[in-house]
Amino acid sequence: MHVVLIATDKPDALQVRLDNREAHLAYVAETGVVELAGPFIDAEGRMTGSMILLDVPDMAAAQAWAADDPYARAGLFSEVTLRTWKKVIG
């Protein structure tokens, strides 16, 4: 099952993101469920959120993955949305 995680950083939280980036990237690599990921970028080129495509057995697994993400544990996000997604092209 594919689930897209869309997260918006809290205002002025770039340093929180930078401080936890290494742990986040290690978590992505360790868990092995991320198919595609990257940050949203503002007009100045600063990271302001995340889009992550997960391949998980169910929504509960996606929710657990999102909750354990070091970015989430650090309180980086003001909002996180998880939505089931169906690949059609690509």
Name the residue ranges covered by the structural domains of the chain.
Answer: 2-85
pLDDT above 70 covers what percent of the chain?
100
Look up the pTM and report it: 0.93
Give residue-wise pLDDT tens across range 20-33: 999 999 999 999 99
For the chain, give the mean pLDDT. Answer: 97
Q: Is 53 helix (H, G, I), strand (E, B) or coil?
A: strand
What is the structure's pLDDT at 90? 83
Q: Classify domain 2-85 by CATH number.
A: 3.30.70.1060
Whether 36 and 49 have beta carbons less than 8 Å apart is answered as no
What is the structure's pLDDT at 38? 97
Burial code (b: 16+ CB inside 10 Å, e: under 16) for 38-62 equals ebeeeeeeebbbbebbbebeeeebb
